[in-house]
Amino acid sequence: MKRLLVICSILVITIAFFLTCGTDSNIIKIQFWAFGGSPTMMKWTKERVASFNQKHPVVQVIQGQKSWNMIRELLYTNFSTGTGPDVMRIHANYAAEFGESGHLYPVNNFPDFDSVRTWYQPNLFEACRYKDNYYGLPGTGMAFVLVCNQELFNKEGLTPPKTWSEFRATAKKLTKDLDGDGAIDQWGMTLLGGDRGGFSYRLAPFILKAGGTFLSDDLTKVTFNNEISAGALQLLTDMYQKDKSITPGFLAYSHTEINDLFCGKKVAMAIEGPWMNFVIQEKNPGMGFMSVPVPVPDDKIDQYDTAPTLQDMVMIAISAHSKHLNEAWQLTKYLRNEEADMEWIRQDMGAFPTTLKAINSPEKKPFPHFDVFVHELQYAKPWPAHPKMITIVRNVIAPYGQKAIIGELTVEKALELAAKEAQDIIEGNK
C-alpha cells in the first residue's frame, strides 16, 4: 500500500511538473527596459505594464528600471552580445545612432503604422525619425523654457524678459548681496554645467531662438560657427564675466544643485522644462514660479512667439534583435496610445504628452503653464538627426562653450575650434 502511495505521489508531482513547464513554454516573455523617469512616471509605468500583462495572458512583460545616464553603455554592451531588451524607453536622439547601427527596428514596417502615427502631434513624431525610417513612438515631449522665481521678480517689480537685453538687465538686477557682507548670495541666473550634455541643452535654446542651426540640412556640414551662435554665447559670457549674474560655481552643478538653488530662492532664473513643477512641489511646495519662452535677440522681438526653442523627446523603441516583434509592437502601442497618454494630463509626471487627444483635451491640466509648453512644442526643434550628434553635443559644444563663458577662450576661438572638431567627427576623421 505504501509503495502504491509513493508511486501515486511521484506521478502527481511529475504530471504537475510537466503541466507547469508546458504552460510556461507557451508564454512569450518580453523584456522592457525603462530608462529614467520621475517617481510618478515609474509608478505609472509599472501599473501600465501590469495592466498589459493582465490583458495579454500569453505574454509576460518583464520590466527593468535603468539609469538614464547609462543608455548607450547598457544597450551597446547587451546588443553586442545578443541580449538586451525587446522594448525600451530611451532618448529619441538615439534613433539616428542606434538606427544607423541596425540595433533598432523601424516601426514603420508594421502594417498599422500609418494609422498609429495619426495619434501624435506631427512635429513631435518626426523626432523619432532617422532618414526614411521611424524607430519608435513618441513617449514624452519636452521644450526648454525660461523658468522664473515669482517671489524674487515681484520684489523688484519685474516681469519676465522677452529680449536678450531685457534678460541681461533682469539677471543683473536680481543679483544681490542680501546681507551686506560684500559677497553675492542671490544670482539672476544659473546654468547646468556639471552635466555636459545638460549644459548644451541650456545653450542651444539661445542659438535656436536667434535663428541658428547646428548642421546643414543634408547633415554634412557644421553650421554653428557664425555670428548668430557667437551672439548667443557672448550673451552668457558677458553675464558671467562682466555682470557676475550667473552663479560662479555652475561648472560643477548637476540637477541637484540647480534644483536646490532655484527652490531655495538663491537664483531667479534657469533654463529648464516641464519637470520643474514636479521638482518645486517636492522641494518647496507652493512656491510660485513662471514658465515663459526663452528670450530672443532684440532685433527679433517680432518672432518672440514663433522662434524655436530646443525640443527634447523620449521614445519607446523596439530592438531589431527581438524574437517577438509583433508582441513588442503591441506593448509599445499600449504604453503610448491615446488612452495611456491621457494620464499625462491627469497627473504630473514631470514631462509632457505627445498625442493630439491629450494635448488638446479640455480636462484640467496637471501643472501650471501647460499652455506655454503646448505653444513652444509647436515650433521647437530637436538636435539634428545625425548618429554622431550626441557625441558632438556632449564632447564638443559643451566643453568649448564652457571655456568661452569662463574666459579660457574667446567666444570666436571657442566656436572655431568646436566647429573644426565637430566637422572632423562628422567626416569620420575623429
* Nearest to 199, CA basis, from 254, 240, 162: 254
**pLDDT at residue 233, as a whole number:** 98
What's at 251, amino acid-wise?
A: L
Return the pLDDT at 25: 66
Residue 292 CB partners (closer than 8 Å, separation 6+): 145, 146, 148, 160, 369, 372
Q: Which one, of 123, 296, 146, 273, lies nearest residue 207 by Cα?
A: 296
DSSP state letters, 32-57? EEEE---HHHHHHHHHHHHHHHHH-T
Q: How far apart are the first and last CA of the chain?
A: 81
CA triplet 63, 67, 69: central angle to 5 degrees?
Answer: 145
The reported pLDDT for the residue numbered 10 is 42
Euclidean distance between CA atoms 29 and 398, whole angstroms: 41
Angle CA 16–20–22, to nearest 5: 115
Distance of CA 135 to the CA centre of its chain: 16
User: What distance in Å separates the CA atoms of residue 90 and residue 71, rounded to the nearest whole number?
Assistant: 7
Q: Which residues contact 268 (CB under 8 A, 6 or more apart)?
A: 148, 149, 152, 153, 170, 171, 174, 186, 187, 188, 189
CA gap 175, 159 in Å, rounded: 15
Retrieve residue 110's grid coordinates.
508594421
Q: How many CB atoms lie within 10 A of CB 199?
A: 24
Q: Where are the beta strands (DSSP E) in 179-288?
A: 187-189, 267-272
pLDDT at 196: 85
pLDDT tens, per residue, the chain with 430 residues: 445 444 444 444 343 333 344 446 689 999 999 999 888 999 999 999 999 999 999 999 999 999 988 998 999 899 888 889 999 999 999 999 999 999 999 999 999 999 999 999 999 999 999 999 999 999 999 999 999 999 999 999 999 999 999 999 999 999 999 999 999 999 999 999 998 889 999 999 999 999 999 999 999 999 999 999 999 999 999 999 999 999 999 999 999 999 999 999 999 999 999 999 989 999 999 999 999 999 999 999 999 999 999 999 999 999 999 999 999 999 999 999 999 999 999 999 888 999 999 999 999 888 889 999 999 999 999 999 999 999 999 999 999 999 999 999 999 999 999 999 999 999 998 7
